[in-house]
Amino acid sequence: MADSSLDQNRPLGLEGVIADWSSDQRAFKRVSWGKAMMWIFLLSDTFVFSIFLLGYMSARMSTQTEWPNTSEVFALHVGGVSFPLLLIAIMTFVLISSSGTMAMAVRCGYARDRKATAGLMFATAALGATFVGMQAFEWTKLIQEGVRPWSNPFGAEQFGASFFMITGFHGTHVTIGVLFLILIATKIWRGEFDRPGRTWLKSGAGDYEAVEIMGLYWHFVDLVWVFIFAFFYLW
């Protein structure tokens, strides 16, 4: 009888849907709101990056002007010797390494190891900042050589637009991730995640789920770079 009365008092139609989703319940069984919303965000972001890469491939295959040789354009000159894609290889190694430190941070978070979790997140942020710094160097180098979104001295004009759009959008994601890594790591280091009470990052004392959610975002950013590296730099 109690269940029947609850059903009678529940709003119908769209109002009922809104009431269910805004109630203090989990809409996804065994999955918290934080994780669910992050997965939805990453799915939408996957579509955006996919459109960018598809647009780049379409522009490259349709242009009649010769596409620049990326091994030469992104070569790094050290001691008078040209090393093809050396900087890009280092950037890729740094970002992939940051996935390892992030994975260890998530594991330490589940173990409630406050100092190790914070330290590994700071290390991940440092690697991410190093990646962004090297990307800024790469941008500066190409701008000095005359590459623009509307022009390119090395060949097809679409190259500049594709490069700045794709790498810029990804670099923005990495930068945002670094800022959130520092924010969460600082709060963990101060012991705020072990204090009672609910905040926008935790539901109670010892709730380190925010570390895992941050890990989902960071691994996604790293995975996207693998596709950018393969399709833009190696192709």
CA 99 to chain centre: 11
Structure tokens at 39: 């997965």
pLDDT in tens, 44-98: 999 999 999 999 999 999 999 999 999 999 998 888 889 999 999 999 999 999 9
For the chain, what's the residue count?
Answer: 235
pLDDT in tens, 37-57: 999 999 999 999 999 999 999
56 with 162: CB under 8 angstroms? yes
Q: Report the half-sphere exposure of 6 (CA within 13 A, side-chain side).
A: 5
Average pLDDT, the chain: 90
94 vs 91: CA distance, rounded Å: 5
Q: What is the largest CA-CA distance in the chain?
A: 85
184 with 214: CB under 8 angstroms? yes
List C-alpha distances in Å: 2 to 6, 7, 10, 12, 44: 6, 9, 13, 18, 41
pLDDT in tens, 126-154: 999 999 999 999 999 999 999 999 999 99
φ/ψ of 200, rounded to 5, equals: -75, -10
φ/ψ of 151, rounded to 5, equals: -155, 160
| Domains, the chain, with CATH or none | 32-233 (1.20.120.80)
Structure tokens at 49: 């990056």
110 with 143: CB under 8 angstroms? no
Question: Where would I find the H helices in the chain?
Answer: 2-9, 13-22, 33-62, 70-73, 86-110, 114-144, 158-189, 209-228
Confidence grade of residue 202 (pLDDT, cut at 50, 70, 90): confident
List C-alpha distances in Å: 55 to 49, 58, 61, 220: 10, 5, 10, 20
The pLDDT of 2-25, averaged and rounded, is 61
What is the pTM assigned to this prediction? 0.86
Rg of the chain over all Cα atoms, to the nearest angstrom: 23
134 with 91: CB under 8 angstroms? yes
